[in-house]
Amino acid sequence: MTRKLLAESFGTFALVFAGTGAITIDEISGGIVSHVGIALTFGLVVLATIYAIGDVSGAHINPAVTLGFWFARRLAGRWVVPYILSQCLGALLASGLLRMLFVNHPTLGICQPSGSSSQAFLLEVILTWFLMFVILNVSSGSKEKGLMAGVAVGAVITLGSLFAGPISGASMNPARSLSPALVTGQLSSLWIYLSAPVLGTLLSVGACQCVQGQGCCDSPTTEKRQ
């Protein structure tokens, strides 16, 4: 368990440090990184992390993904809370380090709606639904299968960030949104980014069952696979 939890902490640290770091540096540098660069940063760090720790912990690096595997009966319940706590710890460490590096930056890459809260909420639900739907269909149990699993998941992250990032932030990840919000003290919109991904991932399990049949969500739990 220790190796798995450390892997989840390291992976989530990398995601938040690189992704929200790209947003922060883009704002400081006057847009040199660019919106496209930010989207690619998120997608590439997820892709790299899946290949680095996917065979250790499954590279969930996202509480919504962990809950999605649990909803789909691919992850034993005893793993859920430790995984989520490890992910949140890694994310908080990343945001804390970014605060040390960029002391005067006010937001550190937090997610905030640029329009209405309902618009951002619906976008986050749909984005997470699609992300989890892809993950469920390219994974075996709670781990990725095949050489292209990381590419598929990274591509979905990049796609969501490219077209929805300017409106909702395209978080799809409660830990990614929680850590900069806590570090900067800006919590007013946090409820969107904690609740919408959970709803989206729950809906994706039902969609997977409709498309794949019973085989989508009746895989043995991780204890039987490890």
Mean pLDDT, range 38-62, rounded to an integer:
95
| Averaged pLDDT score across all residues of the chain | 91
Handedness of CA 41, 49, 8, 43 (dihedral sign): positive
Asked if 80 and 194 count as a contact pair (C-beta separation under 8 A), the reply is no
Domain boundary assignment for the chain: 2-225
Cβ neighbors of 45 (< 8 A, separation 6 or more) are 14, 15, 18, 19
Band the pLDDT of 212: cuts 50, 70, 90: confident
Q: In the chain, what are the helix, strand and coil shares in percent, each to the nearest 5?
A: 75, 0, 25
What is the average per-residue pLDDT within 196-211? Answer: 90
Residue type, 186: Q
What is the mean pLDDT of the segment spanning 64-69? 96
Residue 93: pLDDT band with limits 50, 70, 90: very high
pLDDT band at 214 (very low <50, low <70, confident <90, very high): low
What would the pLDDT profile of 16-34 be if each residue is shown by its tens digit? 999 999 999 999 999 999 9
Task: Note whether 17 and 63 are within 8 A (CB).
Answer: no
Q: Please give the DSSP secondary-structure letter assigned to residue 113.
A: -
CA 178, chain centre distance (Å)? 11
CA separation for the pair 148, 156 (Å, rounded): 13
By mean pLDDT, which of 12-16, 49-53, 59-63, 220-224 is the weakest? Answer: 220-224
pLDDT single digits (tens) 134-171: 999 888 655 655 568 899 999 999 999 999 999 999 99
Band (pLDDT 50/70/90 cuts) for residue 75 is very high
Token output for 51: 């290949």
Instruction: Give the CATH fold of the 2-225 domain.
Output: Glycerol uptake facilitator protein (1.20.1080)
Q: What is the pLDDT of residue 207?
A: 87
Question: What pLDDT was estimated at residue 221?
Answer: 42
